[in-house]
Structure 1
């Protein structure tokens, strides 16, 4: 019984009832202002009204904004399971206009049925409860006065009318989903926008991971070294590095927050590029890892996006070296060869370490996965691994690099003592999209 009664008590039922009555009101207004209805039969008046309503609604549907107005109203009052099933965009094609016209005519027709049924049912319920003379659809109710069955029949009539509203409301919702749904072109545009939003979120996640992760790694290493050494000069230098790294991380965070807030672009701080790499190398050297860097890139040879992404790739490579091979020298090479930008970052692995094998593929860390994603988006490729065991950056994550921190840190699937160098190599085309 509760399942039978629940739809009659749902708020969506009454919202759909209101939506239906709006269509009935439109038909009633047209009927009242339509000339020539004097001394005509009800059937003739209704036929003329239907023809006039259909013509007016077809003309109104030609206005592109009508589809948007009907879509917004349908979302609010018909309570669809998924709002995106009903479009709120103006008509762009003739197919959209014809579907809108069919929707308007069908909506007014269903609303007229429910409107007349509402008046007739409420009048009949009143007559049955009070015993007064009344009619139901033009038929006089027989023997309602003083009869015991009147009060008993009234709730049944009201229940039947309630379910009529429920089913016609559901029918109108199905009609709205059918006739006001997004067109294939609109669905394609929405899918492209959704893909762009996902790509933007992934890009922002990579930015935060690379910049903040690098800053935290440098800060932790500097603070730990300062505590262990205890030399005032070393401590002062470590604090200076921490301060500079923190400022750079704050700039990166501010830039990312500006993008998230969709603020004007002029308020964002400048994105770092290849030109800012020397200061990044200085930070790594101050953290205790000697850096041998060679940048062979002609001035202005890199597009802005390629320069910025190259900075992030090298930053992540240095972060991995600082985290998993502290104190080890890092070799960075950046050069333009054969129409490609080649970036490599290498650091030695300590003897006796273990390197992940193929069994561990696909379990890489977020940093190297981010490098692979950057390279793929730019039309290039990225490989990372120990010398002779190179794999995709997505497959050889930080856990694979972790062997540089000590024996057994490589995780399950180790093949044995690793070779002497961990290398990250990225190749990007100078002409994006090639």
Structure 2
């Protein structure tokens, strides 16, 4: 019983009733145009004095409504109204204008159905409640029984007079049931008639994929630039604290390195945030590259206490710009992983070379307990680890390269190959 009451008079039923009444209101101009056609054709001056002529005017006006539904804003407006009043999920509706013949045909069918059912329910909503209310109060208002426009003959019987309120209440329930049924019917058909076409779904999927790509790129840039800087600053500050009394010169150098790291990271962060703007927006710092920034990266990493031996058997200035940018981030993340997981006293070997048409980047460090716990050959984070290897693999994959990471004997080895041709 509760479910039936909710179906007939619940909030969703009331909103769908409003949706139908709006359809009836939209149908009125078309009914007026139809009356202009029906009146002269039947020779009747006032078609609204006859229910049959009103229905005929309504029938003539609906095809006109179907034609006007070709207006581009019809589908977006109807979709918005259906979403809020009929309770249809947003992803099941199309919000752009109808473009193909199929979309236009479905929009015309929906608009005609909405106005047709809406006109019927709206007309019933205007006519039934007053008549039902009159029946309900009929036993208590004798003046209504003498009304010549009432129900002659039947009301002379006592049983008819006693059942009049029941009949009036039943009419109101029937009206609510009709409105609820029509509203449910429209809500069920809305996805089929106003839903996105395969082309719309493909465009939406492409938009979501593009948005996800931008977000992933932003996440990688933030992780690599800010994460590396925080790791370096943490080790530098820790070393400076331990040697504060015994080696003031080292502390002074460490503080200078911290200042330089943070200042540079602010510039890199500005470049990363430029991704959220219009691409490479004017005024944003350029993204760091292997050609211009490798030496500074090594100096800052060594200032943090990490013993880095670098072998550069390639001229970074000859690298394609996309390869140079991504290679810098890969080297940065490789050194950052060594800082975080291997410890500041562990030697790290970096090799950058060009061989067989590929830029090859190798970072090696001895494996210790911390390294074994943090590193993962498949790029998935482990306790104490992060998403660095996954980000490196993503960068290499975008350029058509490959990544290999894992222990080789007692050495942790990260090896990345980036092709120098056909890059995107």
Shorter-normalised TM range? 0.7 to 0.9
Say whether residues 1:73 and 2:81 are aligned partners: yes
Rounded Cα–Cα distance in structure 2 between residues aligned with 1:66 and 1:343: 57
Which residue number corresponds to residue 348 of structure 1? 366
RMSD: 3.1
Deviation at 1:171, TM superposition (A): 0.8
Deviations 1:81-104 (A, max 9, x none): x21211110122111111111111
Rounded Cα–Cα distance in structure 2 between residues aligned with 1:155 and 1:354: 79
Which residue number corresponds to residue 115 of structure 1? 122
Which residue number corresponds to residue 404 of structure 1? none
Over 3 Å counting, the alpha-carbon distance change for 1:372 and 1:238 in structure 2 is same
Deviation at 1:259, TM superposition (A): 3.3
Report the number of matched residues.
397
Is contact 1:281–1:291 with CA below 8 Å preserved after alignment?
A: yes
Which residue number corresponds to residue 252 of structure 1? 268
Which residue number corresponds to residue 28 of structure 2? 28
Which residue number corresponds to residue 58 of structure 2? 49
Say whether residues 1:58 and 2:66 are aligned partners: yes
Say whether residues 1:160 and 2:174 are aligned partners: yes
- Give the SS at the match of 2:337: helix
Rounded Cα–Cα distance in structure 1 between residues aligned with 2:305 and 2:156: 99
Is contact 1:134–1:141 with CA below 8 Å preserved after alignment?
A: no
Is contact 1:133–1:145 with CA below 8 Å preserved after alignment?
A: no
Is contact 2:306–2:345 with CA below 8 Å preserved after alignment?
A: yes
Over 3 Å counting, the alpha-carbon distance change for 1:361 and 1:97 in structure 2 is closer
Deviation at 1:111, TM superposition (A): 0.7
Over 3 Å counting, the alpha-carbon distance change for 1:312 and 1:77 in structure 2 is same
**Pair member with larger Rg:** 2
Is contact 1:380–1:428 with CA below 8 Å preserved after alignment?
A: yes
Matches within 5 A, 1:412-423: 419-423=409-413
TM-score when scaled to structure 1?
0.82
Which residue number corresponds to residue 97 of structure 2? 90
Q: Could you tell me which of 208, 217, 225 is aligned with 2:239?
A: 225
Over 3 Å counting, the alpha-carbon distance change for 1:255 and 1:8 in structure 2 is farther
Q: Could you tell me which of 310, 320, 332 is aligned with 1:315?
A: 332
Rounded Cα–Cα distance in structure 2 between residues aligned with 1:377 and 1:84: 30
- Give the SS at the match of 1:12: helix
Is contact 2:341–2:371 with CA below 8 Å preserved after alignment?
A: no
Say whether residues 1:278 and 2:295 are aligned partners: yes
Over 3 Å counting, the alpha-carbon distance change for 1:140 and 1:319 in structure 2 is farther
Is contact 2:72–2:98 with CA below 8 Å preserved after alignment?
A: yes
Rounded Cα–Cα distance in structure 2 between residues aligned with 1:250 and 1:153: 78
The more displaced of 181-190 and 84-93 is 84-93
- Give the SS at the match of 1:383: strand
Q: Which runs of 5+ in 2 are unaligned?
A: 139-143
Which residue number corresponds to residue 143 of structure 1? 155
- Give the SS at the match of 1:87: coil
TM-score when scaled to structure 2?
0.84
Which residue number corresponds to residue 265 of structure 1? 281
Q: Which runs of 5+ in 1 are unaligned?
A: 388-418
Deviations 1:151-192 (A, max 9, x none): 344334323322322221111112211101001011011111
Which residue number corresponds to residue 203 of structure 2? 189
Which one has the bigger helix percentage?
Answer: 2
- Give the SS at the match of 1:324: helix
Deviation at 1:66, TM superposition (A): 2.3
Over 3 Å counting, the alpha-carbon distance change for 1:305 and 1:120 in structure 2 is same
Which residue number corresponds to residue 395 of structure 1? none
Rounded Cα–Cα distance in structure 2 between residues aligned with 1:360 and 1:103: 56
- Give the SS at the match of 1:143: helix
- Give the SS at the match of 2:192: helix
Over 3 Å counting, the alpha-carbon distance change for 1:86 and 1:318 in structure 2 is same
Which residue number corresponds to residue 393 of structure 1? none
Deviations 1:228-272 (A, max 9, x none): 112221111111111111122223333334434668822432211
Rounded Cα–Cα distance in structure 2 between residues aligned with 1:164 and 1:229: 85
Over 3 Å counting, the alpha-carbon distance change for 1:134 and 1:338 in structure 2 is farther
Is contact 1:64–1:97 with CA below 8 Å preserved after alignment?
A: no
Rounded Cα–Cα distance in structure 1 between residues aligned with 2:204 and 2:156: 59
- Give the SS at the match of 2:405: strand
Deviation at 1:297, TM superposition (A): 4.2
